[in-house]
Structure 1
């Protein structure tokens, strides 16, 4: 193997170039900063050049001299290059950093001819080389922008959020449905607490707890030392939602399920049911915090999605199997359906009337009320309408907000 110093001398003897005059030769002290700058450029380009290589390059230039361009290039390539694959990148860095002034004038003369040629694919490392050279240059100051007087737009515009509040669920695109679901998750149903039949011990309660007072007096020899008091327990009433998932209600049911999921995870004693041709209790599935997992569990459980509608049969089944379980303590029932029954309203009036008598408040949410000229012409709607406390639309975000306000205000039985 050829020693590094001998390789430097051999490469220097093969190099060509015009020697500099003694009075034009730069000193080693003036050349050292340029050499360090060139080594930093090689590092930014990607060559592995360390402090030992920099010392070897300085010693090589001391032995060979810096009289000619070819001598300097041969000395630096012999000490700074480690792989043949890096030779092309080193040559480009050397030609770009140690520029020849006389060659620059010649290249400027041929610039116009080069512009007419077809564009060529840049060589490997050209982009890195340009970025490395640009790192040393100061960034140009940003151009000054002339200040323009503010312009007032007098056109009447409506924000996207306001338009989304009034848009019908059935007319929304997939992206708008996703935004509507995010808005529904932010809705908060107020906890309209109501008094129950139970009492709890309270030192500042409005009523005297005679039974507890006598029991305490029996422990102290029959003397009534302390008068104990009590207060009525107050808690929110149960909320029961019975949602239609037939073909005419499928699009609305998909959005309203997000509302039911948010309410179920926000307050206690919420019960949800779905019905098409049969009744399904999905309360346990909606209690999962992740909505995607909850809806996937509901999809596996409910087989009659987007099918027919048997409202009377579903309400009768609910009254028989679930009425006494979930309709106690002044429950509020949300009946979500369009009233289009395939059975022609048979048995629907009796089932709705029994449901009304079993709860404190029965609210019928019908998306058909979005039409200004709505009239109850179908047999199912005419059978149900006399037996509900309230009849409200549910077709957009604004109607959901109105429903929440109505539930927060409450009503007397």
Structure 2
């Protein structure tokens, strides 16, 4: 194997140090980057040159980004790498409570908090102590007895606004969640000594064996059966972080003993439908989601909900929708397919399921109105419409599954749509 030529970069230059620091920040933000990738990035920059900022961005992007969900974090860290002063002020405001201004202008975008946590690692986060009181000033005591605990705050925090450490803790909380379901009463029966139903056949057969005399009456009970859980998860660009957290929840449900589900089937869709059910059987959640992500090639791509629902109804509905299946559909409903096709396929899915529950992260916004045509077309064909942006919203799904009359926000939003169209 030929020896790799050395880099033609001056020893006193700072490009190598800057790229190394940049890679270290990306690693702290959650990207899987080792020394080999840092060396490859330096050699790629040497080969491509440093003529334009756009070229430099994509050279480093190709060297460091290997997962679709890492793109947002890379973009945020790269902006600070190029020393955008206003952006630096905003990122520091995410980490330091003493800095205001930019933080109040807007909330953190996806990946910003993780980028700030990585690039400002080691920065003192607490407010500086004031020392002795100045003359004439009154000491202010803050009562923190009612302050919410860290876990309670994480329960309601938006997944998109979490730092790397908060996402890790939220995943632990999600792993403890359950989605129990009550059994369905089937028409089939089984013999029971203290059953609630008379078993006339067994009673007559027993009487025939005793010369036609009835000595005792046999009884029976109806045999319970457990429904299937079918999960359809949108993995388009706008749903990337939410989908990953929801799939952690689905993995926990699929591997929890005694939850009551006969089988948990999971599908992802963006521009195409992918069955990831077999990957959820792995006990390790990271290995399961890594394998699922490798099979689903349309992560953070476009969205064709209508076409993907058509593929599911045609190819998978009869296989997995038996036994009174409950369907969880996780999507923001923003689709580029024709509205007529989307409404028809959603209605067909609704008719095949015992309950169709739509989880939409857009419900996290106060005053949300289904103005998008895709959302308005799908909404009449679901049984329940709920938010899915936090740990608390996922924990509340048990109510939607257990209570047949639970509609979530569906009825209220349908009235809003009717008032606007009227």
TM-score between the two structures when normalised by the length of structure 1: 0.60
Output one character per residue of 1:76-102: Cα deviation in whole Å (capped at 9) or x when no partner: xxxxxxxxxxxxxxxxxxxxxxxxxxx
1:170 CA drift (Å): 0.9
2:346 is matched with which residue: 347, 352, 356?
352
1:233 aligns with 2:228: no
Aligned residues: 263
**Cα distance change, pair 211–324 in 1 and its aligned pair in 2 (3 A):** farther
Determine the structure 2 residue equivalent to 1:249. 239
Tell me the residue number matched to 2:390. Answer: 396
SS in 2 for 1:347: helix
Match of 2:150 in 1: 160
**Post-superposition shift, 1:222?**
4.6
Partner of 2:195: 205
Tell me which of 155, 167, 176 is aligned to 1:177.
167
Counterpart in the other structure of 2:20: none
Shift of 1:153: 4.9
Q: Does 1:324 align with 2:318?
A: yes
Report the counterpart of residue 382 of structure 1 in structure 2: 376
- Quote how far apart the aligned CAs of 1:325 are: 2.1
Distance 1:319 1:408 in 2: 25
**Aligned partners of 2:384 and 2:400 also within 8 Å:** no
Residue 299 of structure 1 corresponds to 293
1:8-407 pair list within 5 angstroms: 153-155=142-144, 157-266=147-256, 267=259, 268-407=262-401
Q: Distance in 1 between matches of 2:143 and 2:226?
A: 48
Work out the CA distance in 1 between the residues paired with 2:296 and 2:234. 12
Instruction: Provide the residue aligned with 2:8 in structure 1.
Output: none
Q: CA deviation at 1:412?
A: 9.1
In the TM superposition, residue 303 of structure 1 has moved relative to its aligned partner by 1.4
Contact 2:357-2:400 within 8 A present in 1 as well: no
Distance 2:284 2:240 in 1: 22
CA contact (8 A) 2:384 2:406 kept: no
Q: CA deviation at 1:210?
A: 2.1
**Cα distance in structure 1, aligned partners of 2:406 and 2:172:** 33
Q: Deviations over 1:309-358 (max 9, x none)?
A: 11111111111222222222322111110001122434011111111111
Q: Which residue of 1 aligns with 2:80?
A: none
Q: Matches of 2:392 and 2:288 in 1, distance apart?
A: 25
Normalising by structure 2, report the TM-score: 0.59
- Residues 1:223 and 1:324: Cα distance change in structure 2 (over 3 Å): farther
The verdict on how the C-alpha distance between 1:412 and 1:236 changes in structure 2, with shifts beyond 3 A counting, is farther
Q: Deviations over 1:105-147 (max 9, x none)?
A: xxxxxxxxxxxxxxxxxxxxxxxxxxxxxxxxxxxxxxxxxxx
Map Cα deviations across residues 241-274 of structure 1 (whole Å, 9 max, x no partner): 1111111111101111110000011233221111
